[in-house]
Structures are given as structure tokens and as C-alpha cells.
Amino acid sequence: MKKCVFCGKPTLGDDTCQDCLDMSMAFCVMCGEKFSIGNDGNELGICERCSSSPDFPYDLDAYYRAYDSGEEIFKGFDTLSRGILERYRK
């Protein structure tokens, strides 16, 4: 029996148990598609497809640099709805 890579609980053959899978899945705040946080989407609630689109309106690299340097103190799914990304509009 395989164990979950996150918590060590037994799984049904997958790398992630249902509890951890439920916690790591989300819906994109831009398109509504389901994605896995850290794999095909980010902790801001934006899926990889949206964030890598050529017409994606924000410079996420600049946001993450500001966050890492302490200029931004909030990172979460409501970052976009709070208007925090507006200063990083392309």
C-alpha cells in the first residue's frame, strides 16, 4: 500500500490521500477551472493556464519579488479581489 507524500496516510495507489488532495485542489479565480496548488496553479488562486497566457494582465514575478523582499505582506486566494495585484499590471 502506498503512503501519501504529504501526511503519510495510506492511499489507494496514488501519491496523495483524499484528505490532502482535497486541501491541495482549488478553482482558479480567473477561469474557474480546478487545479492543484503548487503543480498546475499557485497559492494566489490562479491556474497555470491563466498565468502563462500571453495576455495575462499581471507581472507575477514582480509581485513575488516584492513579497519576498517584504514590500508585500499578503499572499492568498483573495490577493486579486483585494486589488493587490493592480500595481503589477503589465
Q: Three-state SS across the chain? A: CCECCCCCCECCCCCCCHHHHHHHEEECCCCCCEEECCCCECCCCCEHHHHCCCCCCECHHHHHHHHHCCCCCCCCCCCCCCCHHHHHEC
Flag whether 10 is in a domain.
no
Flag whether 12 is in a domain.
no
Q: What is the pLDDT of residue 66?
A: 96
Q: How many domains does the chain have?
A: 1
Task: Examine the pLDDT at 26 and tell me if it is beyond 90.
Answer: no
Task: Examine the pLDDT at 37 and tell me if it is beyond 90.
Answer: no
Task: Examine the pLDDT at 4 and tell me if it is beyond 80.
Answer: no
Interatomic CA distance for residues 77 and 3, integer angstroms: 29
Q: What is the pLDDT of residue 18?
A: 72
Mean pLDDT of 23-32: 83
Flag whether 9 is in a domain.
no
Task: Examine the pLDDT at 23 and tell me if it is beyond 70.
Answer: no
Stated pTM of the model: 0.71
Q: What is the pLDDT of residue 9?
A: 82
Q: What is the pLDDT of residues 61-77, one digit of tens each?
A: 999 999 999 999 888 88
Flag whether 80 is in a domain.
yes
Give the range of the structural domain holding residue 71, as residue numbers without chain letter. Answer: 18-88
Flag whether 8 is in a domain.
no
Flag whether 26 is in a domain.
yes
Q: Among residues 74, 85, 90, which one has the least CA distance to residue 46?
A: 85
